[in-house]
Chain A
């Protein structure tokens, strides 16, 4: 089982719609969860992080975390063509060993059509 799993997509949504991106992780001890956005040919950039169960909102982005289900999601409201990118879910693992590291999923490609 992969440590962090995402559907590769592409996820296609029309402009103005809500895009929902999902991620599951295997390490029950994981404490920190991140969403990175990566445009084609560019490096990843952090857009959201969440530590506690529930929702965290930042502008058009909402991160949702459910530790019991080992599930984290990212909602993008009022999607824009400029949101078209690959979204990488990242989770810290190894908390119990004292050597934490950030493990990335393979990403979900989002396409927002005008």
Chain B
């Protein structure tokens, strides 16, 4: 398996522009997570999906952020309009399950380094 695939690896954009980050989870994994990592705040959960349905989006910072999972093999995280404070590494992760008795091991993608100028 190729693992969790994210694109692009690096994104540099100007303030006000729309940014779309993409993720392909591991086949067969029914949970998908979007995390954001900064030095100050560490890894923050933005949103997660179970079987393509958003379960918890309480970590999405504001209405400028939106995420979709149209099918089991693809998800997007969109920021519109982008701001300099959105600069961070955005990780996508997938897992087989999120329950206590199931395998909760998260498999992370390589991340997208986003720089908003």
Q: C-beta contact mask, A28-53 vs B, less than 8 Å → 1, else 0?
A: 00011010100000111110010100
Residues of A within 8 A of B56 (CB): 94, 99, 101
Q: C-beta contact mask, A14-33 vs B, less than 8 Å → 1, else 0?
A: 00000000000000000110
Evaluate contact between A46 and B105: CB separation under 8 angstroms: yes
Q: Shortest Cβ distance from B46 into chain A, in angstroms?
A: 11
Q: In the complex where A31-B100, A32-B100, A43-B111 touch, is A103 in contact with B106 (Cβ < 8 A)?
A: no
Kindly state whether residue B110 has any CB partner on chain A within 8 Å. Answer: yes
Chain A-chain B contacts (Cβ-Cβ < 8 Å), number: 54
Q: Which of B14-22, B37-45, B72-80 contacts A (4 or more CB under 8 A)?
A: B37-45
Chain A interface size, under 10 / 10 to 19 / 20 to 34 / 35 or more? 20 to 34
Evaluate contact between A104 and B43: CB separation under 8 angstroms: yes
Chain A residue with Cβ nearest B110: A43
Chain B residues in the interface with A (C-beta under 8 A):
33, 35, 41-45, 48, 55-56, 91, 98-100, 104-106, 108-111
Q: 9 shortest A-B CB distances, which residue pairs?
A: A106-B42, A43-B108, A104-B43, A31-B100, A46-B105, A99-B56, A100-B98, A44-B108, A43-B111
